[in-house]
Amino acid sequence: MSAVIRATGLQKSYGGNRVVDGLDLSIHRGECFGLLGPNGAGKTTTLRMLLGLIAPDAGTAMLLDLPVPQAAREARIRVGVVPQMDNLDPDFTVAENLLVYGRYFGMQDSEIEARIPSLLEFASLTSKRDAKVPTLSGGMKRRLTLARALVNDPDVIFLDEPTTGLDPQARHLIWQRLRELTQQGKTLLLTTHFMDEAERLCHRLAVMDNGKLISQGSPRELIEQNIEPQVVEVFGETSGQWANEHAANYAQRFEVSGESVFCYVQDAQPLVKQLQAQTALRYLHRPANLEDVFLKLTGREMRE
C-alpha cells in the first residue's frame, strides 16, 4: 500500500511557539484519515504544510510522491481542498464557480463543462445550476464547495471541518458523499471536532495536541487502547457529593464536571445497581466513544 501523504519529523514555529513539533504521518490510498485535536493543536498548520502552502522549519512532507512545497504546484493538480470557511465566488452562479475553478487546473472549458452535470448531481445541486451563490443556504454552499473540490477529479482531498455549522440532513448527505469518494479509491484527509463524524467516516484517526501526535489508530483501536470500555454518566445536584463518597468503589476512573459525573468502568453492573437505588440521581450507561478518548487525552479544560 503506497503512502499518498507522508510527513516525517515536521516542525513549524511561529514567533518562538512550536506549533507543529516533530510530526510523523503516513496516509494510504483509499483511506479516510481523521486529524483530531483541540483548537491550536496545529492541525490547520499541518494541513497547510502537507498542501505545500507553507514550508516546514524541519522535516519533510510528500504529497502523491512529490516533495512539498518544492513540487507543490505539480502535486496539487491531483488534489482537491474543501476549506473550513467558504470561499466561493459570490458574483457567480453555481455552474460558473465550477467553470472558473476548473481553469486554475489547466482544464479546458469543454472538459469542465462536460463534468459539471455529474458534479452537480453528486452535490444534489442540479436544480441550482444557475443560482447565484448568495441565494444558497449554508448546506448548499458547503455542497458546492465539495463539488468544486472535485472538479479536477482529484486523487486526494483535504477537508477542514467539512460539516461545521450544517444541519443534520446536510451533514448526513455530505457523509454519504464522502463515503462514496473513498469507495471510488480516493484518499481523504479531514480535520473535525465532531467525534461522531470521525467515528463514522474515518478508517484511521490521529489525535494532536500541542503540535504533537498523542495517539493514532482506527476508531476502535483508539477507544480500546486509551479508555475503559463502559461509561456511566450521572446527573443531579448531589452527583458530585455522591461521586466523592462512592464512585471510587465502583469505577476505575471518574470525573466531575459541573452537575455531571463521568464514571469510566470495565464492568458497569455493580455501579448501575448502586445508582438505581439513588432516587435523586439520573444516570446514562453507554459504551465509551471517541469523545471520551478525546477528552481524556486532551483534557476538559478550555484552551484560550
Contacting residues toward other proteins, per CB under 8 A: 14, 51, 53-55, 69, 73-74, 76-77, 79, 81, 83, 85-92, 96, 100-101, 103-106, 152
The residue (of 105 and 291) whose beta carbon lies closer to other proteins is 105
The residue (of 62 and 290) whose beta carbon lies closer to other proteins is 62
Q: How far is the CB of 71 from other proteins (least distance, A)?
A: 10
Q: How far is the CB of 18 from other proteins (least distance, A)?
A: 15
Sign of CA dihedral 47, 49, 50, 56: negative
Q: Is 134 exposed, middle or buried (0-12, 13-18, 19+ CB in 10 A)?
A: exposed
CB count, 10 Å around CB of 210? 16
Q: How far is the CB of 123 from other proteins (least distance, A)?
A: 16
Sign of CA dihedral 190, 32, 61, 88: negative
What is the Cα–Cα distance from 206 to 133, expressed in whole angstroms? 35
Q: How far is the CB of 164 from other proteins (least distance, A)?
A: 16
Q: How far is the CB of 154 from other proteins (least distance, A)?
A: 10
Q: How far is the CB of 149 from other proteins (least distance, A)?
A: 8
What H or E segment, with its residue span, contains residue 185? none
The residue (of 85 and 277) whose beta carbon lies closer to other proteins is 85
Q: How far is the CB of 128 from other proteins (least distance, A)?
A: 18
Strand ordering across the sheet containing 260-265: 253-257, 260-265, 230-235, 282-287
The residue (of 54 and 295) whose beta carbon lies closer to other proteins is 54
Q: How far is the CB of 92 from other proteins (least distance, A)?
A: 7
The residue (of 25 and 79) whose beta carbon lies closer to other proteins is 79
The residue (of 151 and 297) whose beta carbon lies closer to other proteins is 151
With b for 16 or more beta-carbon neighbours within 10 A and e for fewer, the 286-302 pattern comes to: eebbbbbbbbbbbeeee
The cell for 62 is 510528500
Residue 5's nearest CA partner among 46, 41, 39 is: 46
DSSP 76-123: GGGEEEE-SS----TTSBHHHHHHHHHHTTT--HHHHHHHHHHHHHHT
The cell for 165 is 455549522
Q: Tell me if 146 sits within 8 A of 82, measured CB to CB.
A: yes
The residue (of 103 and 303) whose beta carbon lies closer to other proteins is 103
The residue (of 92 and 175) whose beta carbon lies closer to other proteins is 92
